[in-house]
């Protein structure tokens, strides 16, 4: 399998965003992308490990097809950025440094709002507005773009992943109702320490299965597939979902399956 090294530079975006995009590309790890043969010909939903900010940044820079990434809505509103950024990124840092990270969360607010509203993103809200997220996602799929999402939550799963929020799978049902097409979900594992991104075999939505059972099946299949991709690689440090101290980062060989 030949690796693909790819950087999509956002040529059609405003100049300030293109400059920011270029800076992020220059400062980010240079990933090698494997497994593109697993992408179906039609648009799909790519489901990956978050690994803090590494997963979304790597996806934006290196996925080879048009795509839109689910982004938490709070990061697209400068008034909401500070509270969310501190809670989600830095609340597990040493308490003596909390003052610094609270200040930093305010300083990044204007930049975060600009960056995430101009990137190819779809805002996600955990309230009634989530239906807008699904509608926009269905429209983007229908327009030929992939949807990329990182559904981990702060609840350990197996030493490599944190549990997924399973309702992302409902996107398939809504897309099927509108188009009659059963979309594929493609697992993705990002390994910042190996500077590589790995795409696994797709799992296709089955409209004949009851909604609850299909949601659980897809969610479980994606968690296991992403974990399998990680486990198959040489031993390396996994960048976990929460921003815990680096000395607590697990190894991919630390995986603990649940029976």
Whether 45 maps to a domain, the answer reads: yes
Asked if pLDDT for residue 243 goes beyond 90, the answer is no
C-alpha distances in Å from residue 35, one per residue of 3, 46, 54, 255: 8, 12, 19, 22
Whether 15 maps to a domain, the answer reads: no
What is the percent of the chain with per-residue pLDDT over 70, rounded to a whole number?
95
CA distance 251 to 231: 9
As separate numbers, helices (DSSP H) first and strands (DSSP E) second, the chain gives 8, 10
- CB of 39 within 8 A of CB of 67? no
Query: Token digits for 92?
Result: 């597990």
- Closest residue by Cα to residue 248 from 257, 233, 238: 238
CA distance 57 to 72: 14
pLDDT at 89: 82
Residue position matching structure tokens 């030493």: 159
Neighbouring CB atoms inside 10 A of 166's CB total 18
Whether 149 maps to a domain, the answer reads: yes
What integer is the mean pLDDT of 132-142?
96
What integer is the mean pLDDT of 41-68?
94
Helix or strand or coil: residue 115?
helix
- CB of 68 within 8 A of CB of 121? yes
For the purposes of burial, counting CB atoms within 10 Å of the CB of 127, is it exposed (0-12), middle (13-18) or buried (19 or more)? Answer: exposed
The domain in which residue 187 lies consists of 31-72+124-254
Position 5 confidence tier, pLDDT thresholds 50, 70, 90: very low
Angle in degrees, 0-180, between the axes of helices 170-179 and 211-231, rounded to the nearest 10: 120
What integer is the mean pLDDT of 208-225?
97
What integer is the mean pLDDT of 40-67?
94
pLDDT at 103: 95
Residue position matching structure tokens 């039609």: 42
CA distance 75 to 51: 17
pLDDT at 258: 63
H-state helical runs in the chain: 15-27, 54-62, 81-85, 98-107, 109-118, 130-142, 170-179, 211-231
What integer is the mean pLDDT of 251-255?
93
Asked if pLDDT for residue 182 goes beyond 90, the answer is yes
pLDDT at 85: 87
Instruction: Mean pLDDT check: name the lowest of 87-96, 127-136, 216-225.
Output: 87-96
Instruction: Mean pLDDT check: name the lowest of 2-6, 122-126, 201-205, 221-225.
Output: 2-6
C-alpha distances in Å from residue 154, one per residue of 77, 162, 229, 242: 22, 6, 21, 7
pLDDT at 2: 41
Whether 189 maps to a domain, the answer reads: yes
What integer is the mean pLDDT of 116-138?
90
Position 123 confidence tier, pLDDT thresholds 50, 70, 90: very high
Position 212 confidence tier, pLDDT thresholds 50, 70, 90: very high
pLDDT at 36: 97
Whether 56 maps to a domain, the answer reads: yes
Calculate the CA dihedral of residues 199, 193, 92, 58 and round it to 10 degrees.
-40
pLDDT in tens, 146-156: 999 999 998 99
pLDDT in tens, 87-105: 888 888 888 999 999 999 9
CA distance 18 to 57: 14
pLDDT at 10: 53
User: Is the pTM higher than 0.85?
Assistant: yes
Domains contained in the chain, number: 1
C-alpha neighbours within 13 Å on the C-beta side of residue 150: 25
Whether 171 maps to a domain, the answer reads: yes
Report residue 230 CA to chain centroid gap: 15
Whether 18 maps to a domain, the answer reads: no
What integer is the mean pLDDT of 16-25?
86
CA distance 169 to 162: 17
Whether 79 maps to a domain, the answer reads: no
pLDDT at 179: 96
């Amino acid at each position: 399998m030949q690796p693909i090294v790819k950087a999509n530079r956002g040529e059609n975006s405003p100049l300030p965003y293109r400059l920011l995009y270029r800076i992020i590309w220059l400062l980010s790890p240079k990933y090698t992308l494997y497994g593109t043969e697993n992408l179906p010909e039609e648009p799909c939903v790519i489901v990956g490990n978050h690994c803090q900010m590494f997963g979304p940044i790597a996806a934006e820079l290196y996925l080879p097809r048009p795509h839109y990434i689910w982004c938490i809505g709070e990061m697209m509103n400068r008034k909401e950025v500070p509270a969310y950024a501190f809670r989600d990124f830095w609340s597990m840092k040493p308490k003596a440094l909390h003052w610094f990270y609270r200040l930093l969360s305010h300083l990044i607010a204007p930049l975060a709002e600009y960056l995430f509203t101009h990137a190819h993103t779809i805002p996600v809200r955990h309230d009634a507005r989530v239906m807008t997220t699904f509608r926009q996602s269905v429209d983007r799929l229908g327009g030929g773009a992939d949807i990329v999402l990182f559904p981990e939550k702060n609840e350990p799963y197996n030493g490599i992943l944190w549990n997924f929020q399973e309702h992302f799978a409902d996107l398939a049902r809504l897309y099927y109702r509108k188009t009659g097409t059963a979309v594929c979900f493609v697992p993705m594992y990002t390994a910042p320490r190996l500077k590589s991104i790995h795409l696994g075999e797709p799992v296709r939505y089955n409209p004949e299965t009851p909604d609850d059972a299909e949601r659980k099946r897809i969610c479980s299949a994606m968690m296991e597939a992403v974990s399998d991709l990680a486990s198959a690689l040489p031993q390396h440090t996994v960048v976990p979902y929460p921003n815990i101290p680096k000395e607590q980062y697990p190894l991919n060989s630390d995986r603990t399956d649940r029976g």
